[in-house]
Chains A and B, each alone.
Chain A
């Protein structure tokens, strides 16, 4: 197990678990914050995983995920707003 994999596992255990706990419980805004936190965590996890696998071509996945996660969270903020 190299340093990349250790960093990946640390991010998954320390970042994804709290984000999932926020996203799965409570009111809608709390869940949205959990989803919003999970986006950067998963993006960075995929960056480190691509280096752990020594496959630079895999980096296109986190590069696509970063703006998609941003747009998806913005859609949810719009949907959670008060009704007219």
Chain B
């Protein structure tokens, strides 16, 4: 087992651990805003760690490239979703006004 192999599995294990911890934290957190923080951690940290580990274990093959593209989409879209859900929560609670008409 080479050092690269160990590093790849360490990254995958860390990524899976972050995703699981974020999901459990979101389930037990009180309120919508507190639940949005673990969502961003999951997509910005857990998914790239897992993807990097998979790419390292793949050794530069096409599967690693597809995996990196997938986690890049997750990392880019996660904060946008968190922001959108936070906005709709604030609108429903009356903290901000609804969107103006176009």
Residues of chain A whose beta carbon lies under 8 Å from any beta carbon of chain B: 3, 7, 10-11, 14-19, 21-22, 29-30, 32-33, 36-37, 40-41, 43-44, 47-48, 50-51, 56, 59-60, 62-63, 66-67, 70, 73-74, 77-78, 80-82, 84
Residue of A nearest to B32 (CB): A29
Q: Using a Cβ cutoff of 8 Å, how many contacts connect chains A and B?
A: 139
* Chain B residues positioned under 8 Å from A66 (CB to CB): 70, 73-74, 77
Chain B contact residues (Cβ within 8 angstroms of A): what range?
35 or more
Contact B67 A22 (CB under 8 A): no
Q: A44–B85 Cα gap in the complex (Å)?
A: 22
* Chain B residues positioned under 8 Å from A18 (CB to CB): 23-24, 26-27
* Chain B residues positioned under 8 Å from A41 (CB to CB): 19, 23, 42
Contact A56 B43 (CB under 8 A): no
8 chain-A/chain-B pairs, Cβ below 8 angstroms: A15-B20, A15-B23, A30-B32, A40-B78, A41-B42, A59-B70, A63-B73, A66-B70
